Amino acid sequence: MAKGQVEVSSLDDIRYDERGLVPAIVQEASDGTVLMLAYMNRESLSKTLETGRTWFYSRSRGELWPKGETSGHVQNVRRVLYDCDADTILVQVEQVGSACHTGERTCFYRELGGT
């Protein structure tokens, strides 16, 4: 494969942790803003690829959840990439509304002080 070329792969290539999860960074496709970090298992990643909308695995509830199910703030998937170690997913989306449950556009709106 030529350097810089995107490799198309399958769910079998992803390295899930001992709980069957992989971290998923969600990024606004239009401007590169990091919107949130969530976790996916094989089923939620598969549903994301099948439906074109993000699905995650809730570690606290132990179940799948489609992003925006109650709020309407869905994420339309533009591209799904994975890193060189195959243990982190990057989901590039078109965010409808806010990504954060607080109403903020991104979950990363708080800054640590001090330099």
Rounding to the nearest 10 degrees, give the CA dihedral for residues 66, 10, 12, 76: -10
Per-residue pLDDT, averaged over 69-84, amounts to 96
Residue 85 has pLDDT above 90, yes or no: yes
CATH class of 14-95: alpha beta
C-alpha–C-alpha distance, residues 56 and 102, integer Å: 18
Report domain extents, the chain. 14-95
Cβ contacts of 44-48, under 8 Å, gap ≥ 24 = 45/11, 45/14, 45/80, 45/89, 46/11, 48/77, 48/80, 48/91
The pLDDT, as a whole number, for residue 1 is 47
Q: How far out from the chain centre does Cα 4 lie?
A: 22
Tell me: the pLDDT tens digits for 31-57? Answer: 999 999 999 999 999 999 999 999 999
